[in-house]
């Protein structure tokens, strides 16, 4: 799964440009146009990098960084700001930002700096992937601790429910027949039927809030089985 970047920026044109270009680079991008919403997003989901403006409505960028550093001291932070004075840069870096770019900035340089921050994070082995963390939209799975959450709220899953959800998350956008899922999750000697898979998918949809009539993640592929859409 690709690395996840949270962008908090109140300039609509800059925000759209960052969303488009970061997505084209293969990153999963979430965004907010004010500090308060961005802080809620950061606390409700797991990210590999934060790109944030300093001057934000509702809650300033430096205050957002200060709050997030209490929760995740290792999250890479790249500040974007129209303030280019040395004192402003020092204030941001002292709060725990890893890099600082002054607007207007060049896209190639921004992407290079983002790549450098993420490479350092990978080298430390503290990305979500390295820790066995899988995040898809509102869903977060810890494959090591065998915990799951949706929108920051823990999910009470049985062992088999967790196994099935983890299998789907680990194999996004692939169509599996019920028989394939039975063998992969329950094992080749399990005596269950296709109906067993249907029941567990229905239970998972209820857990994660997926509408059976118009599911966001667990799609029914008529005549075949199921597909997990990230």
Contacts of 38 (CB under 8 A, 6+ apart): 6, 8, 32, 52, 56, 59, 64
Given a cut of 90, is residue 50 above it in pLDDT?
Answer: yes
pLDDT range class, residue 43, cuts 50, 70, 90: confident
167 Cβ neighbours under 8 A, 6+ residues apart: 181, 184, 185
Tokens (6 digits) for 128: 């979500």
CATH code for residues 133-228:
1.10.10.10
CB 56 within 8 A of CB 10: yes
Tens digit of each residue's pLDDT (9 = 90 or more) over 101-132: 999 999 999 999 999 998 887 776 555 555 57
Strand order in the sheet with 147-150: 133-136, 139-142, 147-150, 153-154
pLDDT in tens, 202-225: 999 999 998 888 898 999 999 999
| CATH number, domain 4-124, options 3.40.50.2300, 3.40.50.620, 3.40.50.150, 1.20.210.10 | 3.40.50.2300
- The residue ranges of every structural domain in the chain are 4-124, 133-228
Task: Please give the pLDDT value at position 12.
Answer: 96
125-166: pLDDT as tens digits? 555 555 577 877 778 888 877 889 987 789 999 999 999 999
């Amino acid at each position: 799964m690709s690395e996840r970047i949270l962008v908090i920026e109140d300039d609509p044109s800059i925000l759209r440009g960052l969303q488009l270009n970061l997505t084209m680079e293969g990153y999963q991008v979430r965004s907010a146009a004010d500090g308060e919403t961005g802080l809620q997003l950061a606390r409700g989901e797991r990210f590999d990098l934060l790109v944030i403006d300093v001057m934000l409505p509702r809650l300033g960028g430096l205050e957002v960084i200060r709050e997030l550093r209490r929760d995740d001291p290792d999250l890479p932070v790249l500040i974007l700001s129209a303030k280019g004075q040395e004192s402003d840069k020092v204030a941001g870096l002292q709060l725990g930002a890893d890099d600082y770019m002054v607007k207007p900035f060049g896209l190639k340089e921004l992407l290079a700096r983002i790549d450098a921050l993420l490479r350092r994070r990978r080298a430390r082995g503290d990305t979500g992937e390295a820790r066995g963390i899988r995040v898809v939209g509102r869903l977060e799975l810890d494959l090591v601790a065998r915990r799951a959450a949706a929108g920051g709220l823990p999910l009470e899953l049985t062992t088999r429910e967790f196994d099935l959800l983890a299998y789907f998350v680990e194999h996004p956008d692939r169509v599996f027949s019920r028989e394939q899922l039975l063998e992969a999750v329950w094992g080749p000697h399990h005596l269950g039927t296709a109906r067993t898979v249907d029941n567990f998918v229905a239970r998972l949809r209820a857990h994660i809030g997926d509408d059976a009539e118009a599911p966001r993640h667990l799609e029914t592929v008529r005549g075949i089985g199921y597909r997990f859409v990230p």
